[in-house]
Amino acid sequence: SKESEARLTAGAFTHMFTPLRNAFTAAAKRGEIRGINPNVLTGIFLSIMDSIEFSGHGPNTPTREEMVEDVISVLLHGVSIDSQ
């Protein structure tokens, strides 16, 4: 129902989006990350985390925890060899 959808959306925003946005905002204020729009950064992060489900199939698939660590590493350090 529309009401259930609205409650789910509000809950996701309150319990997922907002805390992540606050963490990114605080990190930017501490000079730990670039000053990227925190709403955009949070949306990117959640989209990438959601996509892990699609890469978690097949032989030699890393554990979910390993995938999460890799995603966070790429977000924080990029993909270049110099960023390790």
pLDDT at site 56: 64
pLDDT at site 19: 93
Backbone angles phi, psi at 58, to 5 degrees: 105, 175
Could you read off the pLDDT of 16-61 as tens digits, one per residue?
Answer: 889 999 999 999 999 988 888 999 999 988 888 777 776 767 778 8
Give SS3 for 3: helix
- The answer, as to whether pTM is greater than 0.95, is no
pLDDT at site 47: 86
Structure tokens at 56: 């978690």
For the chain, the residue count is 84
